[in-house]
Amino acid sequence: MGPPWSRIRSGFDAERAWRTRQLAEHGMRATLAGLIPGGRWHGTTLVLDCAKEAEVTLTGHGLVLLPSAVWDGPPLMAVHDDAPSVFIYPALTPLPLLGARDGEDHPLNALLGRTRAAALGLLTQQLTTTDIARELDISKSSASEHAKALRDARLIVTQREGKAVWHSCTPLGLDLLTGSA
């Protein structure tokens, strides 16, 4: 897996972590209404502001929420009679298809430093210190130092399983990545 896939996967993992946290803190109704701007409930009906009006009745087989890092249009819905329906919506932080232009920098780079901010971005999925070192093309000791600094700032949590040390974002780390802090 090369860098583009890694960025896609990190974006998807960040979105999933963010929505899971929203679900735990605010419940299903608020989570569903928050999938797109202007979402709200009218009784038992979820109303989403879209250019085209449509009424969708679910079939009782479940609903799969699928964030898209590359789609920024209105939500898309596929209703199935004998399977879960699928709701595709724009991800909270769309994937930048091109790298930063000359002179542009991610805001966290100034706060954390370029490498540490990149490490935090990777940790929307659980990775080992070795994984971080490989993804960022840095030494294991450097990856360990960055993980320690992020852990001390309560932006990640770390757990040991045998010889492996696994790291992942905390809710505060996710908030910083998504600009919600």
Q: 86-128 pLDDT, tens per residue?
A: 988 888 765 544 444 444 566 788 888 889 999 998 888 888 9
Quick one: which H or E segment has residue 179? none
Cα four-point dihedral sign 7, 13, 19, 21:
negative
Structure tokens at 130: 């070795």
In the predicted model, residues of the chain with pLDDT beneath 70 are 1-4, 6-7, 51, 93-106, 179-181
Q: Which residues pair with 63 in a beta bridge?
A: 85
Token pair listed for 94: 């769309």
Contact 66, 86 (CB under 8 A): yes
C-alpha separations of 147 from 67, 101, 109, 166, 177 in Å? 28, 28, 15, 10, 16
pTM score: 0.54
